[in-house]
Amino acid sequence: MSNVSSPRVINIGLAGLGNVGAGVFKNLEKNRALISQRIGAELRITRVAVRDLARPRDIEVPNELLTTDWRELVNDPAIPVIVELIGGTTTAYEMVAAALRAKKIVVTGNKALLAERGKELFALAEEFGVPIYFEAAVAGGIPIIQVLQEGLVGNHIRSIHGIINGTCNYILTRMSQAGLSYTDALGEAQEKGYAEADPTLDVSGWDAAHKAIILASLSYGFWIPQDKVHVEGVDRVSITDFKFASRLGYTIKLLSVIRADENGLVEVRTQPTLVPLSHVLAGQDPTSSSVISDLCEAAAVLMHGARHSGFVPHGLYGKSKPVDDTVSHYYLRLTVDDVPGVLAQVATVLGERGIGISSMIQPEDLEDTSGETSLVLMIHDARLGDMKSALAAICQLKCVRGEPSWMRVETLQG
Ligand SMILES: NC(=O)c1ccc[n+]([C@@H]2O[C@H](COP(=O)([O-])OP(=O)(O)OC[C@H]3O[C@@H](n4cnc5c(N)ncnc54)[C@H](OP(=O)(O)O)[C@@H]3O)[C@@H](O)[C@H]2O)c1
């Protein structure tokens, strides 16, 4: 590794001075003395790459530190640690790969980059003998990555369930508690700064899915391919579904589920899910604190010797479960003609595919007078593939109007 001879001052190249980068810069300045005392080295940012030098910033950064060329950081022999906080998967990939080839430790908060190209990057890290730290990529402020890498290394992880996107959680909570429509809840989240102007990555479910890929890969020792992950967004959740869910004792969350079955097949999915009301699973500074804790790790490596690359593949698992084979309970809401015999027709379609109904509601106070009504079914364990086939057939029934609304149900009991 370069520049390890005098590690009392550790020079850092910071790429990106946006929400997170500015927080890292500010908090490193603010806590310089404390960090120095704790780790026995001074973390000093000596170069900062941005896209636009003229952009007004909330923090003061000496002009001589700034550059628009990230290569100046990577090519500087006096910098042994590069922090990537520019986001995206193209320039960020180029930069991280170049930094690893130059044997520099990388710290990143970029979940999209790791989810898409983690396999290649960790292979490079292994080849060049330098680690990538990425605590900030998932659940800023909570050391979940380190826990999976080290704390639980001797454990077999059966499953992980979690709500790992704050924007979607805010939107769904406001829909549930204030009765807002999806569009109004999203608008409010944007107004309050909880959602980006372009919220696509969040509301599509992909931000949470990127994090789930990272957690699953660490848990099961092989890098989960993105195309094996099932992802659904929150935009199709309606207030009506919240009303029915609540009657049934559930609420709706964007839940990420990671689970290995007894044959070692791993499923990773993120989707709006009914979870029991009694089991509601519980920005800048938390994320920057994760980056800074990674920088302290980097300092320890520079001073005391190398550790693992950040992700070590092992052969215990290795296969993703085909998504159509994943099994769960389902909630299904149909808009149907208000005539006798409808339930029997729907039950027949489900029964032909071996799918059983565990309960049914058709509340009168939620009906209207248009001759149609809602039929809500709770469904026993069903394969996704069978559910899809049943839904296609249900849509063909003359008594069924419009698109069915359906979601998985997780009891969260192991
Ligand atoms: N925001 C969060 O709460 C959060 C939480 C966890 C993880 N993350 C991750 O952290 C990363 C950064 O997020 P952010 O919210 O801080 O992003 P951001 O506010 O959009 O900031 C991006 C920064 O990167 C700079 N930049 C962009 N392209 C560049 C290039 N080609 N060369 C040099 N600099 C470039 C921008 O420069 P200018 O300032 O000149 O435009 C800006 O300072 C992302 O990967 C994100 O997923 C964010």
Residue 289 shares a structural domain with residue 277: no
- Is residue 218 scored above 80 in pLDDT? yes
Within-domain flag for 184? yes
In a domain, 46, yes or no: yes
Higher-confidence residue of 284 and 159: namely 159
CATH number of the domain enclosing 212:
3.30.360.10
Token pair listed for 357: 């109904």
Q: Are residues 109 and 190 in the same domain?
A: no
Mean pLDDT for all residues in the chain: 91
Which residue is closest in CA terms to ligand 1's atom 21?
A: 18
Residue 199 counted as domain residue: yes
The verdict on 123 and 169 lying in the same domain is no
Considering the domain architecture, whether residues 374 and 295 belong to the same structural domain is answered as no
Tokens standing for residue 244 = 């029915």
Taking the centre of ligand 1 as the mean of its atom positions, its distance from the CA of residue 51, in whole angstroms, is 10
Query: Does the structure show a pLDDT above 90 at 90?
Result: yes
Determine the Cα–Cα distance for residues 159 and 380; give it in Å rounded to an integer.
20
Atom of ligand 1 minimally distant from the CA of 88: 45
- Higher pLDDT residue, 308 or 251? 251
What is the predicted pLDDT for the residue at 3? Answer: 45
Same domain, 98 and 199: no
- Point out the ligand 1 atom lying closest to the alpha carbon of residue 207: 47
Q: Determine the 3-state secondary structure of 374 from DSSP.
A: strand
3-state helix, strand, coil in the chain (%, to 5): 40, 25, 35
Q: Quote the domain boundaries for residue 356.
A: 323-409
109, part of any domain:
yes
DSSP 345: H
| Distance from residue 50's CA to the centre of ligand 1 (Å) | 9
Tell which atom from ligand 1 comes closest to the C-alpha of 283. Answer: 3
- Choose the residue to mutate in 85, 284, 285 for probing ligand 1, maximizing ligand atoms within 8 Å of C-beta: 85
Q: Are residues 71 and 46 in the same domain?
A: yes
Q: Is residue 147 part of a domain?
A: no
CATH number for the domain that contains residue 394: 3.30.70.260
Q: Is residue 172 domain-shared with residue 108, that is, in the same domain?
A: no
Q: 25, 51, 83, 198: which to mutate for ligand 1, most atoms within 8 A of CB?
A: 51
The amino acid at 370: S
Q: In this model, does residue 23 exceed pLDDT 70?
A: yes
Length of the chain in terms of residues written: 414
Both 272 and 201 in one domain: the answer is yes
CATH number of the domain residue 29 falls in: 3.40.50.720
The rounded Å distance from CA 377 to ligand 1 centre is: 44
Å from CA of 88 to ligand 1 middle:
8
Q: What is the mean pLDDT of residues 251-269?
A: 94
Going by alpha carbons, the residue nearest to atom 38 of ligand 1 is 51
Whether residues 257 and 236 share a domain: the answer is yes
Distance CA 144, CA 87 (A): 21
Instruction: Give the DSSP per-residue string, 23-67.
Output: HHHHHHHHTHHHHHHHHSSEEEEEEEE-S-TT---SS---GGGEE
- Of 211, 243, 253, 321, which is the active-site residue? 211
211 is catalytic: yes
pLDDT for 284-330, tens place per residue? 677 898 899 889 888 888 888 866 777 878 777 889 999 999 999 99
Q: Tokens for 146, please give them.
A: 């380190």
User: Which whole number is the average pLDDT over 172-187?
Assistant: 96
59 plus 120 within the same structural domain: yes
Residue 349 counted as domain residue: yes
The residue whose CB lies within 8 Å of the most ligand 1 atoms, and thus the one to mutate among 14, 17, 20, 289, is 20
**Which of residues 304, 338, 356 is at a domain's end?**
304
Q: Whose CA is closest to atom 20 on ligand 1?
A: 18
Let me know if 123 is exposed, middle or buried by CB neighbors in 10 A (0-12, 13-18, 19+).
Answer: middle
CA of 84 from ligand 1 middle (Å) equals: 8
pLDDT band of 6, cuts 50, 70, 90 = very low
Residue 395, token pair as written in the block: 């849509």
Pocket of ligand 1, beta carbon within 6 A: 15-21, 49-52, 55, 70, 85-87, 91, 109-111, 136, 140, 283, 287
Q: Is residue 262 domain-shared with residue 300, that is, in the same domain?
A: no
- Cα-Cα-Cα-Cα torsion 132, 141, 303, 79, nearest 10 degrees, comes to 60
Contact residues for 227 (Cβ-Cβ < 8 A; gap 6+): none
- Tell whether 250 is covered by a domain: yes
- Cβ count within 10 A of residue 40: 13
Calculate how far, in angstroms, residue 1's C-alpha sits from the geometric centre of ligand 1: 27
Domain count, the chain: 3
Residue 273 shares a structural domain with residue 183: yes
How close is the Cα of 231 to the center of ligand 1, in Å?
24
> What residue's CA is closest to ligand 1, atom 34?
50
